[in-house]
Structure 1
């Protein structure tokens, strides 16, 4: 016998199933797009979704007409983010870290909030010496490569603000096959998600380019 559902009944009391978002299993990111993560306001760059915070100046960085990374400005400092494809079986940061040190031998290893990082000073293309800090966060089939230059590489208060920013980043790896260390495709927020999906930046962050162009 059918009956009318009372107004005060919850949907599941009437036999209806309501899918609740799964709770995050970790306290902070960076997050993989396929794992439960907080549903906060983020800027969608395709392979990266970044926190929307008016205190940070977020803008894309291009080589030619190809978007290769995202730059975040804050307190006379710069945070550069790039997501790279990694093997399913192992992380990539140890390998990438070795390549960076081969070009910047004065950088030293230290422990940071995301594990081992590189820090020190490097000579920029203009001849000036600048403080830098490299971080690498291994995720499922991706590496989030982070470069901090300026005040934030030494000032722990500014660095802490960058850490909070990084912890709310979402990496969208996708299911398509990608070569080792291939940059995960990015797009400007105004671009359509399905537009030119196979246009991937043929950019190696360990050749001359914006990721380590300051190192000689």
Structure 2
């Protein structure tokens, strides 16, 4: 009942055909398989999960009948290229000082949507575990998080304390954040919405539409559950990222030279590669 159309290649004609896959509810132990069962014809498509109903209009898996749109190819993600939307690659430094891509942020006006694709087991439920972990993290930071039923199913709406910012009467200021996510075929796509998209209804809808237009490319390589799928960037964007890191390091060095030390010099994460227009289509 929650089947999703998937692309299938006909060996004789090479033309794409659409097929409907019937939904089947998996138990807690996962899907039961009988390898010795003899069948005249075995379907090659992935069985739709109950969680697929939360992404009836996206986000999409690359094997599905994806609506046409201009998208930027970033390996495990194909992101919608829309007028007025900037795409920023989020990077962090590992213990050896090397740059690692940890996510991508789509910025439209005063709304920011960070997305991260993770590997997941065939059975659904990883997003449930992630929400509980996020709730614990928010609480430990002194914030508040409540679960709501959203466009993509269960989501967390939170208020996170902003360090160093208080009202005149000493009360801690907080930032509204929405944690959204969906279980896909062997993947989970997680989104973090900040700014107006986390509070204003009309902006919330725009952020959700961006999220829905994303295509996840899981690939066939084995990846442990909960591990981030590899995000790659075009060569030209890599050069922009390298230039941004070089500029940031030079700025920090200048600050240390002028003030003796920089309170922000040890930051391990940042954003680079801001580009609204360059893409490889999907």
TM-score range, shorter chain: 0.7 to 0.9
Structure 1: where are the runs of 5+ without partners? Answer: 1-15, 192-207, 212-216
8 Å CA contact 1:24–1:35 kept in 2: the answer is: no
8 Å CA contact 2:180–2:192 kept in 1: the answer is: yes
Tell me what 2:116 maps to.
Answer: 82
8 Å CA contact 1:49–1:169 kept in 2: the answer is: yes
Structure 2: where are the runs of 5+ without partners? Answer: 1-11, 22-54, 94-98, 166-172, 237-266, 271-282
Tell me what 1:115 maps to.
Answer: 153
Tell me what 1:132 maps to.
Answer: 177
> Aligned to 1:99, what secondary structure does the other structure show?
helix
Tell me what 1:4 maps to.
Answer: none
1:176 matched to 2:214? The reply is no
More helix by percentage: 2
Post-superposition shift, 1:117?
Answer: 0.5
Tell me what 2:188 maps to.
Answer: 143
| Alignment RMSD (CA, Å) | 2.6
1:43 matched to 2:88? The reply is no
Post-superposition shift, 1:23?
Answer: 8.3
Alpha-carbon distance in structure 1 between the residues aligned to 2:156 and 2:101: 25
Alpha-carbon distance in structure 1 between the residues aligned to 2:156 and 2:220: 31
> Aligned to 2:113, what secondary structure does the other structure show?
strand
8 Å CA contact 2:145–2:157 kept in 1: the answer is: yes
Alpha-carbon distance in structure 2 between the residues aligned to 1:39 and 1:190: 24
Alpha-carbon distance in structure 1 between the residues aligned to 2:210 and 2:204: 10
Tell me what 1:19 maps to.
Answer: 15
* Residues 130 and 178 of structure 1: CA distance in aligned 2, closer, same or farther (over 3 Å): same
Report the count of equivalent residues.
181
Of 70, 95, 109 in structure 1, the residue corresponding to residue 104 of structure 2 is 70
* Residues 126 and 75 of structure 1: CA distance in aligned 2, closer, same or farther (over 3 Å): farther
Question: What TM-score, normalized to structure 2?
Answer: 0.59
Alpha-carbon distance in structure 2 between the residues aligned to 1:27 and 1:130: 30
* Residues 152 and 37 of structure 1: CA distance in aligned 2, closer, same or farther (over 3 Å): same
- Alignment map for 1:146-161 (pairs within 5 Å): 146-161=191-206
> Aligned to 2:66, what secondary structure does the other structure show?
coil
- Alignment map for 1:177-216 (pairs within 5 Å): 177-190=222-235
